[in-house]
Structure 1
Amino acid sequence: MSAQNSQGIQTLLDAEQKAAQIVQKAREFRTKRVREARDEARKEIDAYKAQKEAEFKAFEAEHSQGNKAAEEVANKEADVKIVEIKAAGKKSQAVVVKDLLAAVLNANPVAPTKA
């Protein structure tokens, strides 16, 4: 009877070992599958991100053309105005310098009045 009990106990221990191995394999498979799913998700996210970046760049390029044309027109207008202002400054330069010197050299001090 003791041999039978010993054999039964050994059978139970073997079954427990096999069950532990099966559980370990299931855990490893699950861990592996989680990693694969995470990698797949990361790839999908990167692909989606790249697609949206390309769409944005296309949108930006399409809509910035009008801005560049407007910017060029504004720059040309500004250059024309700058030339006009410089010409007016050169034309009036002598008179302005003369008036400034006269104002500085011919000071007319006025005493303050009580309010």
Structure 2
Amino acid sequence: MAAQHSQGIQTLLEAEKEAAKIVQQARQYRVQKLKDARTEASKEIDEYKKVKEEEFKAVESSHAGITSSAQSAVDKETEVKLQQITDSYNQNKDKVVKKLLDRVVLVKPELHRNLTKVES
């Protein structure tokens, strides 16, 4: 009976070892599948990124002419306005200086309009 009992325990230990091997193989299989999935996802991301970059470059190149023409139009308009401001400055600077000097030099002393005469 002891031999039979010992053989039953031995069979259980072998079954336990076999189960541990199966569990270890399942873990390895799961880890490998995760690695494969990450690699595949990385490839898909890279392909998608490449496609979107090409689309962006195509849109950018198609709008490059529009942007440069708009920039040149804005530059021309700015030049015209700056020239107008410069011309106006050159025409009116003497008048402005004369008005400022007249205000500073020619002072007419008079009472303020809010000042009331105090009766004594």
TM-score, normalized by the shorter chain, greater than 0.5: yes
The letter of the residue matching 1:112 is R
Normalized against structure 1, the TM-score is what?
0.81
Quote the residue 2:62 is aligned against.
62
Q: Distance in 1 between matches of 2:17 and 2:28?
A: 16
Quote the residue 1:96 is aligned against.
96
Quote the residue 2:71 is aligned against.
71
Length, aligned pairs only: 114
Q: Matched residues, percent identical?
A: 45
For residues 25-70 of structure 1, the C-alpha deviation after alignment (integer angstroms, 9 at most, x for no partner) is 1111111211220232123123312321331232133224213211
Normalized against structure 2, the TM-score is what?
0.78
Quote the residue 2:114 is aligned against.
113
- Give the CA RMSD over aligned residues: 2.1
Q: Which runs of 5+ in 1 are unaligned?
A: none
Q: Which runs of 5+ in 2 are unaligned?
A: 116-120
Which runs of at least 4 in structure 1 moved beyond 3 Å after TM superposition?
none
Q: Distance in 2 between matches of 1:23 and 1:80?
A: 81
